[in-house]
Amino acid sequence: MTSFDPASLLVPRTRSADEGPIIRMAQKSRDLRAKGIDVVSMTVGEPDFDTPLNIQEAATAAMQAGFTHYSPVMGIPELRAALSKKLKSENGLDYGPNEICVANGAKQAICNAILSIIDAGDEVIMLAPFWVSYEITVRFAGGTPVVLHAGVEENYKVPARRIAEAITPKTKLLIVNSPSNPTGAVWTRAELEEIAALVTSHPRMMVLADEIYEYIVFDGEMTSIGALPGMRERTITVNGFSKGFAMTGWRLGYSCAVEPIAKAMGRMQGTLSAGANQFVQRAGVAALEGPRDEVERMRLRYKARRDMVLKGLRAIAGVRIGNIPATFYAFPDVSSLLGKKAGNHVMDSTDTLCDWLLDEHAVATVPGGAFGAPGSIRLSFACSEAEIEKAMARLQKALGQLA
């Protein structure tokens, strides 16, 4: 028999699909916890709250009423109608039910969009720091990411002037994630208007707007770029239930775009996975049309936690952080701590720093490289106030001893 290595069959795509650092740090914290170490994990972007009861009850009732079969690929009419109404009244986005595609999570909606629009050689402008998955998915489709970076001094928002310089005839897509994971930045209406002017003056460029953190805004107001003049045809807006309604495990997201694009996205989804779970979609209708007090209660808790994290981080010399107007992430710039030492241990990168923080101080964070910003680290404050307090004390002690 000839020797055979199954792994030798794997194609390069499998290597680009790697959300490595977040999963690695989350796993490492679980391993340490299993050994009895009291680790505080600020790694994963997942609400620590349970899904509001009215939504759970709607799912149970729908399941018991027999909604356990395949769904139409693009979603049940009730949810698409409710989403059309929501997008119009809350976001000023004017899309009919036929222009909406319900997906198995916003992540799938993003995948549907990129696979529908991007081909080999197409350029996608991404504003770093960005959410890990965008770059992976663009590479997956054969596209070329064009990464522009903005640090804390620009409030993590690349100005339109620099975006204009990066646009070429090959540019096809610009990804805008406002509010942003990992920085919490929110683009103002004026900033989005400047971006929209660039997009509408290009012959074949669109925006992928990811608005999944829209209900977790503390300061200012979020604007949907797709609602700006001339942007309806130019925008694919993606959103989902995971963050605002604490529904991560349910896998429910959606997109809106003009019909030919929405339909193509539906075909991608039909091939990859089919329609979202029917009783989950019915729960989605309950989430949209039911009371929002739980959503507001969670937002206020995140706001209080945001204040704790900002206070804690600002007390550490060498850590630079701007305001966090939205989301449950902090993305401090720790580049001035790189090269410093703890004993013989040299912090030569944020990867080393995060490993050291976890191994020696039992705080799990994520190095910024995967978000396109290797001088920063990401902390998720979707964890309890007691854990945040503990984490801040540990970080102050750990980072304060670097010399």
Which listed range, 103-111, 162-170, 312-320, 334-342, lies at the site for ligand PLP (CB under 6 A)? Answer: 103-111
Distance, in Å, from the CA atom of 295 to the CA atom of 55, rounded to the nearest integer, reads: 12
* Residue 177 or 224 having the CB closest to ligand PLP: 177
Q: Which of 39, 58, 79, 106 binds ligand PLP (CB under 6 A)?
A: 106
Residue 378 interacts with ligand PLP (CB under 6 A): yes or no: no
* From 122, 210, 294, 333, residue interacting with ligand PLP (rule: CB under 6 A): 210
Shortest distance in whole angstroms from residue 240 CB to ligand PLP: 3
Which of 80, 107, 361, 378 contacts ligand PLP by CB under 6 A? 107
**329, β-bridge pairs:** 380
For residue 216, state whether it binds ligand PLP (rule: CB under 6 A).
no
Give the interface segment with ligand PLP, choosing from 102-110, 118-126, 360-368, 383-391 (CB under 6 A).
Answer: 102-110
- Encoded tokens for 76: 């049940």
Nearest-approach distance from CB 275 to ligand PLP, in angstroms: 15
Per rule CB under 6 A, is residue 255 in the interface with ligand PLP?
Answer: no
Q: Which residues 293-322 are close enough to bind ligand PLP by CB under 6 A?
A: none
Q: Which is nearer to ligand PLP, 276 or 321 (CB)?
A: 276
Q: Which stretch binds ligand PLP (CB under 6 A): 12-20, 100-108, 220-228, 274-282?
A: 100-108
Minimum CB distance to ligand PLP smaller for 212 or for 309: 212
| 5 Cβ neighbours under 8 A, 6+ residues apart | none
Can you tell me the distance from the alpha carbon of 61 to that of 58, in angstroms, rounded to the nearest whole number? Answer: 5
Instruction: Determine, following the binding rule CB under 6 A, whether residue 116 of this chain makes contact with ligand PLP.
Output: no
**Quick one: three-class SS letters along the chain?**
CCCCCHHHHCCCHHHHCCCHHHHHHHHHHHHHHHCCCCCEECCCCCCCCCCCHHHHHHHHHHHHCCCCCCCCCCCCHHHHHHHHHHHHHHHCCCCCHHHEEEECCHHHHHHHHHHHHCCCCCEEEEEECCCHHHHHHHHHCCCEEEEEECCHHHCCCCCHHHHHHHCCCCEEEEEECCCCCCCCCCCCHHHHHHHHHHHHCCCCCEEEEECCCCCCECCCCCCCHHHCCCCCCCEEEEEECCCCCCCHHHCCEEEECCHHHHHHHHHHHHHHCCCCCHHHHHHHHHHHHCCCHHHHHHHHHHHHHHHHHHHHHHCCCCCECCCCCECCEECCECHHHCCCEECCEECCCHHHHHHHHHHHHCEECEEHHHHCCCCEEEEECCCCHHHHHHHHHHHHHHHHCCC
Among 129, 145, 253, 284, binds ligand PLP (CB under 6 A): 253
Query: Which one of 60-68, 240-248, 270-278, 310-318 is the stretch in contact with ligand PLP (CB under 6 A)?
Result: 240-248
Binding-site size for ligand PLP (CB under 6 A) equals: 13
- Min dist CB 253 to ligand PLP, Å, is 4
Among 21, 97, 105, 284, binds ligand PLP (CB under 6 A): 105
Q: How far is the CB of 248 from ligand PLP (least distance, A)?
A: 5
Asked whether the bond before 129 is cis by omega within 30 degrees of 0, the reply is: yes
Centroid of chain to Cα 390: 26
Task: Annotate each residue in 30-69 with x if it binds ligand PLP (CB under 6 A) or - if it does not, as one string.
Answer: ---------------x------------------------
User: Is 131 a residue that touches ligand PLP (CB under 6 A)?
Assistant: yes
CA 72, distance to chain mean position in Å, is 26
Q: Residue 247 Cβ, how far from ligand PLP at the closest point, in Å?
A: 8
Query: Is 212 among the residues that bind ligand PLP (CB under 6 A)?
Result: yes
Name which of 161, 164, 152 is nearest 128 in CA terms. 152
Which single residue brings its beta carbon nearest to ligand PLP? Answer: 105
Kindly state whether residue 242 participates in binding ligand PLP, applying the rule CB under 6 A. yes
Looking at residues 141 to 200 of the shown chain, list those that interact with ligand PLP (rule: CB under 6 A): 177, 181
CB of 7 to ligand PLP, least distance (A): 28
Contact set with ligand PLP (CB under 6 A) = 45, 105-107, 131, 177, 181, 210, 212, 240, 242, 248, 253
